[in-house]
Chains A and B, each alone.
Chain A
Amino acid sequence: MAGAYLRGTGLACALGLEAESCVSALLQGRVKPSRVRLEKLSEPAELAYYRIPDGAELFDPQRFERLLPAVLRAAVDEAGLTEAERRVLPLFIGSSCFSIGFSERAYAAALAAGTGAALPMPEVGYDYLAGLTRRILGSNGPHWTWNTACTSSANALLGALRALQLGWCRHALVLGAELANLTTLAGFTGLQLLADAVRPFDARRSGMVLGEGLAVVVLSLEPGSAGGMKLLGGANNCDSHSVTVTHPDGQTVSAVLTQALATAGVPPGEVRGLRAHGTSSPGGDTAEAMGLKRVFDPLPPVTVLKPYLGHTLGACGVNELVLFAGALKRGQLPVTPGFEQRDAALALEPITRPAPAPAGVYLLNHFGFGGNNTVLALEKAP
Chain B
Amino acid sequence: MIRVTALGHYFAPLEDDALLPPLQAALKEAGRGQYRRIDRFVELALLGAGRCAAGRKLAPDCGLYLGSGLGPMGDNVRVQQQLVLERFVPMPFNFINILGSNAGFYVAKDLGLSGQNYFVSRRGASFEAALELAVMDLELGVVRQALVGVVEDVSLPLAEHRLRQGLAPGTRLAEGSHWLLLETSAEEGCKLEYTRHPDAVSLQLALSTFPEVERRGAPTGPFHDSLTGAWVTERLRAGAPQGLIVTAGTGLFHFRP
Contacts and interface: CB of A to CB of B under 8 A. Distances in A.
A370 B104 contact: yes
Contacts of A168: 136, 196
Contact of B251 (A142, A238, A240): A142
Contacts of A111: 84-85
A253 interface: no
B100 A148 contact: yes
Categorize the interface residue count of chain A: 35 or more
Given A147-B99, A162-B137, A166-B139, 18 more contacts: A40-B87, A42-B87, A96-B99, A104-B84, A120-B85, A120-B160, A121-B77, A126-B100, A151-B101, A166-B136, A168-B136, A187-B90, A191-B95, A238-B116, A239-B114, A240-B114, A243-B96, A370-B104
A183 B105 contact: no
Contacts of A125: 69-71, 121, 123
Nearest to B133: A159
A41 B100 contact: no
A169 to B, nearest CB: 9
Interface in B46-102: 64, 69-71, 73, 76-77, 79-81, 83-92, 95-96, 98-102
Contacts, number: 186
Contact of A369 (B73, B90, B102, B164): B102
Nearest to A181: B83
Interface string A245-261: 00000001001000000
B132 interface: yes
Contacts of B137: 162
B116 to A, nearest CB: 5
B100 A191 contact: no
Interface string B137-158: 1011010000000000001000
A165 B73 contact: no
Contacts of B114: 237-240, 252, 255
Interface in B127-182: 129, 132-133, 136-137, 139-140, 142, 155, 160, 163-165
Contacts of A370: 99-102, 104-105, 117, 119
A120 B81 contact: yes
A228 B25 CA distance: 57
A147 B89 contact: no
B193 to A, nearest CB: 14
A88 B60 CA distance: 37
B245 interface: no
A244 B71 contact: no
A218 to B, nearest CB: 19
Name the interface size band of chain B.
35 or more
Given A145-B121, A145-B122, A190 B84 contact: no
Given A45-B89, A125-B121, A107 B105 contact: no
Interface string A108-124: 10010000001111101
Interface of B: 64, 69-71, 73, 76-77, 79-81, 83-92, 95-96, 98-102, 104-106, 108-109, 113-123, 129, 132-133, 136-137, 139-140, 142, 155, 160, 163-165, 196, 248-251
A149 B89 contact: no
A243 B133 CA distance: 23
A8 interface: no
Contact of A237 (B73, B81, B115): B115
Given A148-B100, A372-B117, A238 B105 contact: yes
A154 B86 CA distance: 35
Given A148-B101, A238-B114, A187 B89 contact: yes
19 contacts: A41-B83, A41-B87, A42-B86, A103-B80, A107-B80, A121-B73, A121-B76, A126-B123, A144-B120, A147-B101, A147-B119, A162-B140, A183-B90, A187-B90, A237-B117, A243-B102, A255-B114, A370-B101, A370-B119
Nearest to B102: A370
Contacts of B85: 107, 111, 118, 120
Given A41-B88, A162-B137, A236 B118 contact: yes
Nearest to A145: B121
B83 A162 contact: no
B123 A190 contact: no
Contacts of B163: 119
Contacts of A237: 114-117
A144 B122 contact: yes
A120 B78 CA distance: 8
Contacts of A130: 122
A371 B83 contact: no
Contact of B92 (A96, A142, A146, A190): A190
Nearest to A104: B84
Contacts of A147: 71, 99-101, 119-121
